Amino acid sequence: MSTFWSIWVSVIVLGTIFGCWALLMATRKGQKHDQETDRTTGHSFDGIEELDNPLPKWWFHLFVATCVFSLGYLALYPGLGNFQGLLGWSQYNQWEEEMQQADATYGELYAQFGEVPVKELATNEDALKMGQRLFSNNCAVCHGSAARGAIGFPNLADDAWLYGGEPENILYTLNNGRQGAMPAKGLMPNMTAEQVNQVVNYVLSFSGREKDPKAAKAGAQVFAQGCAGCHGQDAKGNQAVGAPNLTDDAWLYGSTYEWIEETVLYGRENRMPKQSERLSSDQIHILAAYVYSLSN
């Protein structure tokens, strides 16, 4: 936060507290807590007049205590711009302290599971419960709470894997992340609109859904020139480079003509962030076991 905004926030906060104090004192002026009168404020509604009596003593003291507490709190904790408070507390320090406590509590258990092979760990009910919680906290925002994926995010509960579904593949993905790229118009940047239509129909023909059989037939040659380099001549994909199998029913961006046409025309960019910066190696091991169990 800049110095200007720090001062601005501090002035507003302190101004509010002292303003409340001044208002409290002003309304109390000339009044005694134990004296009630028949004097009214001049307001009347439905025959009922509002009396101008002082605040009850306990109520007044409660307001005073609130103002004093506010000043004490702001002296000890953050609240006045860039001033961190005399105790030096911050949400980051609090988070780090809680993480250290969690590591001390669960670290030994994580370490025990971290020594068990992924395939064996995938059958351990306690480990899967831990893996599910790790997944919910770190992966569900993209892949969904049930790991069924969404547009642009793979379904982890089927057997269609971009980079392979064996434990070593999953561990590599979690530790190092993945960067996928489908170039616009594949390996034929000069692909014409007619050729785009042909190759889309050809891809649709794998599941018998082409709109134009003649275009689909012509699209085989376009596919061989612009797409087979990554997806293979048989369109079964290539896990070494993360090129998806185009002959199954697993689609990252939809399988309609319009979705496939958009992919061919403009390409796609996908990134799976590495989790090694957020999770320990043992936690990643448990998470890999959970992910592996989803499709096995």
Reported as a single tens digit per residue, the pLDDT across 96-149 is: 999 889 888 888 999 999 999 999 999 999 999 999 999 999 999 999 999 999
Q: Is residue 221 part of a domain?
A: yes
Quote the number of domains for the chain: 3
Claim to verify: residue 287 and residue 145 sit in the same structural domain:
yes
Q: What are phi and psi of 6, to 5 degrees?
A: -65, -45
- Closest to 274 measured CA to CA, from 194, 171, 167, 181: 171
Claim to verify: residue 173 and residue 278 sit in the same structural domain:
yes
Last residue of a domain, one of 76, 96, 127: 76
- Cβ atoms < 10 Å from Cβ of 137: 12
Q: What is the pLDDT of residue 63?
A: 93
Claim to verify: residue 200 and residue 219 sit in the same structural domain:
yes
Claim to verify: residue 13 and residue 60 sit in the same structural domain:
yes
Q: How distant is the alpha carbon of residue 10 from its chain centre?
A: 32
Q: Is residue 211 part of a domain?
A: yes
Output the tens digit of pLDDT for each of the chain's 296 residues: 899 999 999 999 999 999 999 998 887 766 665 666 677 777 778 878 877 777 788 888 999 999 999 999 999 999 999 999 999 999 999 989 998 898 888 889 999 999 999 999 999 999 999 999 999 999 999 999 999 999 999 999 999 999 999 999 999 999 999 999 999 999 999 999 999 999 999 999 998 888 899 999 999 999 999 999 999 999 999 999 999 999 998 999 999 999 999 999 999 999 999 999 999 999 999 999 999 999 98
Claim to verify: residue 162 and residue 284 sit in the same structural domain:
yes
Q: What is the pLDDT of residue 38?
A: 73
Claim to verify: residue 172 and residue 289 sit in the same structural domain:
yes
Claim to verify: residue 171 and residue 245 sit in the same structural domain:
no
Dihedral of alpha carbons 1, 141, 131, 125, sign: positive
Claim to verify: residue 164 and residue 28 sit in the same structural domain:
no
Claim to verify: residue 267 and residue 281 sit in the same structural domain:
no
Tokens 């642009």 belong to residue: 152
Q: What is the C-alpha to C-alpha distance for residues 24 and 32, in angstroms, rounded to an integer?
A: 13
Q: Which two tokens stand for residue 14?
A: 């302190």
Q: What is the pLDDT of residue 36?
A: 64
Q: 3-state DSSP call for residue 119? A: helix
Claim: this prediction has a pTM higher than 0.75: no
Q: Is residue 81 part of a domain?
A: no
Q: What is the C-alpha to C-alpha distance for residues 175 and 287, in angstroms, rounded to an integer?
A: 11
Domain with 278 in it: 111-177+273-294
Rounded to 10°, the helix 57-76/3-28 angle is: 160
Q: What is the pLDDT of residue 94?
A: 92
Q: Is residue 204 part of a domain?
A: yes
Claim to verify: residue 70 and residue 216 sit in the same structural domain:
no
DSSP state of 157: S
Q: What is the pLDDT of residue 77?
A: 94
Q: Which two tokens stand for residue 168?
A: 């070593």
Q: Is residue 138 part of a domain?
A: yes
* Residue 116's CATH number: 1.10.760.10
Contact between residue 175 and residue 284 where contact means Cβ atoms under 8 Å apart: yes
Claim to verify: residue 185 and residue 230 sit in the same structural domain:
yes
Claim to verify: residue 135 and residue 156 sit in the same structural domain:
yes
Q: Is residue 162 part of a domain?
A: yes
Q: What is the pLDDT of residue 62?
A: 94
Q: What is the pLDDT of residue 34?
A: 61
